[in-house]
Amino acid sequence: MRLTLFVCCMSVLASCAGKGPVAEEPAAPPAPTEPVARVDPEVEHFRTPGPRAQETIFSPLPWREASEERLASGVPGPAYWQNRADYVIHAALDETANRITGRERLTYTNNSPHTLDYIWINLEQNLFNPESKGARLTRPGARFGNRDGHEGGFELGPVRRVDPHTVPSPGDEPAPQGAAGAPPIVAGMRPHQPEGEALSWHVFDTVARLDLNPPLAPGQVLTLDLEFAYVVPDYGSDRTGIEAAAAGKIFEIAQWFPAVCKYDDVHGWNHLPYLGQGEFYTDFGDFEVSLTVPRSHLVAAPGVLLNPEEVLTPAQRERLEQARASKDTVMIRTPEEVADPASRPAGEGPLTWRFEAENIRTFAWASSASFIWDAAAVQGSHAHTLAQSMYPAEALPAWSESTEMLRWSIEHYSTMWFEYPYPVATNVSGVVGGMEYPQIIFCRGRGERRGLFGVTTHEIGHNWFPMIVATDERRYPWMDEGFNTFINYYSNQGFFPGNEPGRGGARAFAGGMLRPMAQPLMTYADQIRGRALGQLAYAKTSVGLVLLREFILGPERFDFAFRRYISQWAFRSPRPEDFFRTMQDATGEDLDWFWRGWFYETAVLDLAVEGVNYPTRRSGQPTGLVEVTFLCNRDLVMPIEFEVSYTDGSTERRRIPVECWFNTTRWTTQWPIGDKRIARVELDPRGLTPDVDPLNDTWNAPVENAP
């Protein structure tokens, strides 16, 4: 997620794509023009500020003990487990009332070694009840929360525990809208058959508890039938909503059905409330979803469309098959056809679109009569992925390139990191500025070309983080937004070539590290201070990983470890320690100092060149050596990389490992130079580190006084 925050990050990381678009959030302040305060250079030990007590930046971190579930090497162990949630959903959209009614069968498999006395259910649409925590915590008109006082939230019908081996009754099929005899909760749906044991909803804000009797033992399966309805908000926390396009409303529907909370080996039930800024953390499962919508609509959704012969015209089916074999974009429905009734199947009443999606974390969709539709095949994909875009005429001309940008991004990420495993990837233009779900993304992006590519490559990148590598977005947004912004850094360079990797990004970011009341990266999403999410979760994580790849480890070591992290945790749920341990184990490098300073603390970097000395022997004769002394003036450490320029015009680059700062803040290095003399010493000549005081990064030999 998110267009505005992503744009902010891309402005901070200006080297990603040359010029960044104007950000809606304030840009990071520039690096100071005056030197910052320094420590006494004679102090030969590290300071121990509050968060460290008697520790140093090199002290081991207090991670959870490794276990057979999560190994010390950072990968899932032989006892790793995760539960599973599969869904069969029938839903109907009332375009006039902006109302969704639905019936759901949830099949929950307890793979844990624990007996569960109850389960918790996410009811995220309750955020839009004016009495919700999120609504009461959000300022009117703010980006996250209940904008404009929408009177929303779930209406919940009966919930029953049924035999997992029974199939849904025929009454679960959607009926035409307005069918006679439908109960109020599922207007437009046939009545549910009253079978199975009735359970009671215990609703608390955006979650609900369902008590189980008997409990769910390890290895057992729980099957629930339930009903729900809600009114779609016009603007739902920048994740769902409605746009009033000229040819018809565009519905972008997300976090729209009751979904089981995640139960894991670290926190048990993950039932943090949905407050708006924090996203979601869910189990994987298969989805069978039937969506009954007006006949004039096209529907975008994850997975395979099971009934194209019922919902598409013969011409559209033929064009779709052409697109599956074409690298070039193929028009499925042209702008001219949007107003043509012949572009939809003949007949009366709504149509039901049926989709089947495997091994995904949630299901989002979009529906509109306004959609233009084009598609192309992703090259080199074993999954035979179809990249496609659906957008109104208002999105032209920019969106004529959307599918090409989407296809290019998928191919880039698949080659560089991990192959995209899904059959479809869809980009939708509507009211939502930028938001990701498995196999489908919402990107408004109707401005200039660079901005549309930026939001498209960002949102589809989320299919790697956190849709494939499934992280806890309410606690650790940096594992979602930050990892994704990091891989976007290289996709932007590939699509808009011409920038040296790393140059400029860290230095542009450095000033932001001096902001007052800074928070560590490990801060939970909803606890991040206002307007700081982009600076922290997106930009700081990305800058740190670029720093790790380009400066600390080098691409070969980093890429081997990062790919291992992705492949080992694909379709699983890692915690922060799993990432840190994987990177250390696979790179062969102790990085506790980096994790501590960059992720757990708000440490700031200020290395300096103190001076140059030419030592002599006791006799006064020159030794042929030179000594250069460096200072570490703040509490973040880095390897020392510097360039030496000699008076004879020659140069060389030298590097001192980070371990030089084990026991001191003042390090002197020495090497033979014969009778040469140094004209200049420059720290970090590649511009890769976020040093907050550039004025002390260079030493120039004093100019001799004229005779």
The full DSSP string for 201-263 is -EEETTEEEEEEEEEE-TT-EEEEEEEEEEEPPSEETTTEEEEEETTEEEEEE-S-S-EEPEE
Closest by alpha carbon to 419, among 410, 427, 406? 410
pTM for this entry: 0.89
Cα distances (Å, whole numbers) of residue 324 to 317, 385, 411, 448: 11, 8, 15, 28
* All residues at 6 or more sequence positions from 243 whose CB lies less than 8 Å from its CB, including other chains: 249, 250, 252, 392, 430, 431
Distance (Å, whole) CA 343 – CA 312: 8
pLDDT at 175: 43
Q: Are 505 and 489 in contact (CB under 8 A)?
A: yes
Q: What are phi and psi of 96, to 5 degrees?
A: -70, -45
| pLDDT for 180 beyond 70 | no
Distance (Å, whole) CA 8 – CA 25: 6
pLDDT bucket at 398, cuts 50 / 70 / 90: very high
Q: Which CATH number covers residue 202?
A: 2.60.40
Closest by alpha carbon to 424, among 379, 384, 368? 384
Beta strands in 311-371 (DSSP E): 330-333, 351-360, 365-368
Give domain status of residue 494, yes or no: no
pLDDT at 49: 45
Q: Are 39 and 665 in contact (CB under 8 A)?
A: yes
Distance (Å, whole) CA 188 – CA 174: 7
Give how many domains the chain has, as a whole number.
2
DSSP code at position 406: H
Other CB atoms within a 10 A radius of the CB of residue 44 amount to: 10
CA 23: distance to chain centroid? 19
Q: Are 613 and 702 in contact (CB under 8 A)?
A: no
Q: What are phi and psi of 26, to 5 degrees?
A: -65, 140
Give domain status of residue 114, yes or no: yes
| pLDDT for 3 beyond 80 | no
Domain C-terminal end among 225, 250, 283: 283
| pLDDT for 558 beyond 60 | yes
| pLDDT for 168 beyond 90 | no
pLDDT at 706: 38
Give domain status of residue 317, yes or no: no
Q: How confident is the model over 451-455, as a mean pLDDT?
A: 95
pLDDT bucket at 31, cuts 50 / 70 / 90: very low
pLDDT at 454: 95
Domain C-terminal end among 233, 250, 283: 283
Q: Give the structural domain span for 111.
A: 83-283
Give domain status of residue 433, yes or no: no
Give domain status of residue 98, yes or no: yes
Q: Are 532 and 540 in contact (CB under 8 A)?
A: no
Q: Which residue has the higher pLDDT, 14 or 152?
A: 152
What distance separates the 2 farthest-apart alpha carbons in the chain? 109
pLDDT tens figures, 617-628:
998 899 999 999
pLDDT at 547: 96
Q: Are 544 and 583 in contact (CB under 8 A)?
A: no
Domain C-terminal end among 255, 283, 311: 283
pLDDT bucket at 169, cuts 50 / 70 / 90: low
pLDDT tens figures, 299-334:
999 999 999 999 999 999 999 999 999 999 999 999
| pLDDT for 118 beyond 50 | yes
In three-state secondary structure terms, 415 is helix
Helices 481-495/402-416 angle, 10° precision = 110
pLDDT bucket at 668, cuts 50 / 70 / 90: very high
Q: Are 143 and 238 in contact (CB under 8 A)?
A: yes
Give domain status of residue 465, yes or no: no
pLDDT at 171: 43
In three-state secondary structure terms, 426 is strand
pLDDT tens figures, 198-240:
999 999 999 999 999 999 999 999 999 999 999 999 887 778 9
Distance (Å, whole) CA 382 – CA 418: 12
Give domain status of residue 370, yes or no: no
Report the run of H or E that residue 560 belongs to, with start and end: helix 555-569
String of DSSP letters for 561-630: HHHHHHHHHTTB---HHHHHHHHHHHHT---HHHIIIIIIS---B-EEEEEEE--B-TTS-B-SEEEEEE
Q: How confident is the model over 130-153, as a mean pLDDT?
A: 71
Give domain status of residue 105, yes or no: yes
Q: What single letter denotes the amino acid at residue 606?
A: D
